[in-house]
Chain A
Amino acid sequence: MISCRQLTRKFGDFTAVDGISLDVAPGTICAVLGPNGAGKSTTVGMLTGLLAPTSGEAIVCGVNVAHDPVAVKRKIGVLPEDLGLFDDLTVDEHLELTGDLYGLDAATTRSRIDRLLAALGLTKGRRTFARACSHGMRKKTAFAMALLPNPEALFLDEPFEAVDPVTAATMASILRDAASRGVTVFLTSHILPMAARIADRFVIIRSGRIALNAEAAALDRPLEELYFDLAEAPVLDRLEWLGQTE
């Protein structure tokens, strides 16, 4: 479903992603983990056609991303890092736009919008312009946009960040349900407990390279422990001025 070989992206002299190769089978939830700047979002960008790779190849839903990006976009749903919302459209209008552009008929679009808004607790704010939405509302809107066209694969960049626990649980449940019906989910996250709860496969990226690519069942240690070992360990520096009387 998602496959890439030697995927590399350079920005000038800086190599953000360095020869990543991986395969994600249909119906799998693959969590890509790593510190800030490790190359997670760049990888998502290349797999979704947002960024052209410097070298390497990506095949998503059977389509070569570089050869036919529009065909790939018709098959996938994406929650981008910056959410990709327009200030001048309301929550409702963003979803209508998605339905229109993915060729859904009006009745189907309306029914799916109602269901998504109810599930994500957005019904009350549906007529709010994106520029007036809270970050959480914006995140949920972008998430709903990714789900609305019934995609074969979902690419979600930090889906659980800045959403309340109930919504996070709802999102996790929606993703698990979608995966059980064959939708492939490729997500990045810094929230390790949530990733550990829903993912079938973990990929840890450090400095643009894969440090771990394993099925959840094959992990021999807790995810957090592995992460600190393979990605980066926390810096334990004492800020001596805290708590002192000046």
Chain B
Amino acid sequence: MAGANRVTGTARVRAILKWLARAAKRNRKTFSFRGNNIFYTAIALMFMLDPALAGILIVIMGVIVLLPMSSDPLRAIPPSRNGLWPLEAGERRLLRFLSPFLNPMTWLVLGLAIWKRVSWGLVAFAGGTVLTGFFLSARSPGRGNFWRLLPRFPSPLNQMIRKNLREMLSTLDFVTGVLIAVAAAGWRAAGMLPKEAFFPFTFVAMLAISTCALSLFGLDGAPGLRRYSLLPVRGWQVLLAKDVAFIAIALLIALPLYIPGALAAALIALAVGHRASIQQMTPQHRWRFQTGPSFGDAITQIVTMTMAGAAVAYSSALFLTPCVAIWAISVWWFGREFDRR
């Protein structure tokens, strides 16, 4: 250990910061928006005629993105490893003080604070959001108590559906969908949302969660996929458990809006998403936006969702029947493909 003692305290802190910076950079890459750019573009187009509304949505999504991006960089060090490193108390304090500067969000807030053209209100808002994200991330990962009390489903697939629900509920896509629905519900309650705006809002909320349908197995991880292979279930049952969870979330979000349109859009999002979900099992991260495997899949999904939703909303609810049929065929077909994996 004599060799280690020759390193000065500052050099040790510098070495740790260097590796933390690398870890923080990798963490930022998980905020990829590949499959979601279309979502933002769609919203921008949809609300082009109402900049105030678009502004509110952008603020909502800004907060959703800022919170996880503001996480404490020291979280990248496992607590047991941190405790084992031969650091003096002063070195630990220095590390604690310097590590937040590895996060670009800190620099963003500092930049806003010294930029004279920005109001103090905006600085306080951004700073508060970043600090909230920082302190929330410093809490222990917890045991997922939040979603422990999900309802039971009267089916042998009960626990699989509950697991899938918990996975989907831990995505930023879901949070976005809920915030849009809550905002719409508020406007509706205040009488500020005309009836003809119900479907567009429903559709935007469905768009927000649609990428989950393109990456249904992204949060299962390799052990989860192995368990599917060991269980005596067919591929269509595995897909059905995923789809029930997705549809339940879609209906929950659409509750204050337009349920038939949401159901049509969700069924078609799933029907299109099965192929991508099975053929390109893209790994996903919790508390991040889900990323679809390709831009083409996302475009196809959005176009078909729009057609289905609009047909139900503006023509007849009978258009739900072909949506259900297409979804059922997709479950059967891609269930076979899942079995052949």
Asked if A pairs with B, the answer is yes
Q: Is A228 positioned at the interface, with any CB of B under 8 Å from its CB? A: no
The answer to whether B223 touches A131 (Cβ under 8 A) is no
Known: A73-B232, A97-B159, A101-B233. A82 touches B143 (CB 8 A): no
Query: B229 — which chain A residues lie within 8 A by C-beta?
Result: 49-50
- The interface centre, meaning the residue of A48, A89, A98 with most chain B CB atoms within 10 A of its CB, is A89
The answer to whether A86 touches B143 (Cβ under 8 A) is no
The answer to whether B2 touches A102 (Cβ under 8 A) is no
Q: Is B79 positioned at the interface, with any CB of A under 8 Å from its CB? A: no
Known: A128-B143, A132-B141, A246-B2. A84 touches B156 (CB 8 A): no
The answer to whether B223 touches A101 (Cβ under 8 A) is no
The answer to whether A88 touches B2 (Cβ under 8 A) is no
Q: Mark B207-239, 1 if CB is under 8 A from A, else 0.
A: 000000000000111111011011111100000
Q: Is A85 positioned at the interface, with any CB of B under 8 Å from its CB? A: yes
Q: Is A245 positioned at the interface, with any CB of B under 8 Å from its CB? A: yes
Q: Mark B112-154, 1 if CB is under 8 A from A, else 0.
A: 0000000000000000000000000000011110011000000
Selected from A70, A87, A88, A101, the residue in CB contact (under 8 A) with B156 is A101
Give the secondary structure class of B's interface. helix
Q: Mark B1-16, 1 if CB is under 8 A from A, else 0.
A: 0110000000000000
Q: Is B166 positioned at the interface, with any CB of A under 8 Å from its CB? A: yes
Nearest B residue to A51 via CB reads B229
Selected from A70, A132, A245, the residue in CB contact (under 8 A) with B232 is A70
Q: Is B158 positioned at the interface, with any CB of A under 8 Å from its CB? A: yes
The answer to whether A86 touches B232 (Cβ under 8 A) is no
Q: Is B44 positioned at the interface, with any CB of A under 8 Å from its CB? A: no
Q: Is A152 positioned at the interface, with any CB of B under 8 Å from its CB? A: no
Query: A144 — which chain B residues lie within 8 A by C-beta?
Result: none
The answer to whether A80 touches B230 (Cβ under 8 A) is yes
The answer to whether A83 touches B223 (Cβ under 8 A) is yes
Q: For the complex, give the distance between the alpha carbons of A48 and B162 in Å.
A: 26
The answer to whether A73 touches B230 (Cβ under 8 A) is yes
Query: A98 — which chain B residues lie within 8 A by C-beta?
Result: 231
Q: Is A67 positioned at the interface, with any CB of B under 8 Å from its CB? A: no
Q: Is A156 positioned at the interface, with any CB of B under 8 Å from its CB? A: no
The answer to whether B231 touches A246 (Cβ under 8 A) is no
Q: For the complex, give the distance between the alpha carbons of A96 and B161 in Å.
A: 13
Q: Is A100 positioned at the interface, with any CB of B under 8 Å from its CB? A: yes
The answer to whether B159 touches A89 (Cβ under 8 A) is yes
Q: For the complex, give the distance between the alpha carbons of A89 and B159 in Å.
A: 8
Q: How large is the interface on B (under 10, 10 to 19, 20 to 34, 35 or more residues)?
A: 20 to 34
Nearest B residue to A87 via CB reads B221
Query: A78 — which chain B residues lie within 8 A by C-beta?
Result: 230
Q: Is B167 positioned at the interface, with any CB of A under 8 Å from its CB? A: yes
Q: Mark B148-178, 1 if CB is under 8 A from A, else 0.
A: 1000000011111011001100100000000
Q: For the complex, give the distance between the alpha carbons of A78 and B219 in Å.
A: 22
Q: For the complex, give the distance between the alpha carbons of A85 and B226 in Å.
A: 9
Q: For the complex, give the distance between the alpha carbons of A128 and B233 in Å.
A: 25
The answer to whether B227 touches A74 (Cβ under 8 A) is no
The answer to whether A86 touches B220 (Cβ under 8 A) is yes
The answer to whether B230 touches A48 (Cβ under 8 A) is yes
- Listed in ascending order, the chain B residues whose CB lies under 8 Å from chain A are 2-3, 141-144, 147-148, 156-160, 162-163, 166-167, 170, 219-224, 226-227, 229-234
A/B interface sample: 11 pairs, CB < 8 A:
A73-B232, A83-B223, A84-B224, A87-B219, A88-B163, A88-B166, A89-B163, A98-B231, A100-B159, A101-B231, A245-B2
- Listed in ascending order, the chain A residues whose CB lies under 8 Å from chain B are 48-50, 70, 73-74, 78, 80, 82-90, 93-94, 96-98, 100-103, 127-129, 131-132, 245-246
Q: For the A-B complex with A88-B219, A245-B2 known, give 13 more contacts whose Cβ atoms are closer than 8 Å.
A: A49-B229, A80-B226, A82-B226, A87-B221, A88-B144, A88-B163, A88-B167, A88-B170, A97-B160, A98-B231, A102-B232, A127-B148, A131-B144
